[in-house]
Amino acid sequence: MLRLALMFFIVAVIAGLFGFGGIAAASAEIAQFTFFIFVALLVISLIFGVIDRRGPRL
């Protein structure tokens, strides 16, 4: 997912350099959205990983 956010960021930068403001803004918004989803999923997986290690083993 982080690779997808990076790809949209690169598309936004290239579109901005060539003057395509609408495409650049849309790509930047998608990149920001996917990045925050990635961060949220990372935090959730880290929390569940810590909880799983501390739980009793039966």
pTM of the full predicted structure? 0.69
Half-sphere exposure of 40 toward its Cβ, with a 13 Å CA cutoff?
Answer: 6
pLDDT at site 58: 63
pLDDT at site 50: 84
Half-sphere exposure of 10 toward its Cβ, with a 13 Å CA cutoff?
Answer: 6
- Per the CB < 8 A criterion, the answer to whether 5 and 35 are in contact is yes
- Per the CB < 8 A criterion, the answer to whether 49 and 41 are in contact is no
pLDDT in tens, 18-55: 888 888 888 889 889 998 999 999 999 999 888 877 66
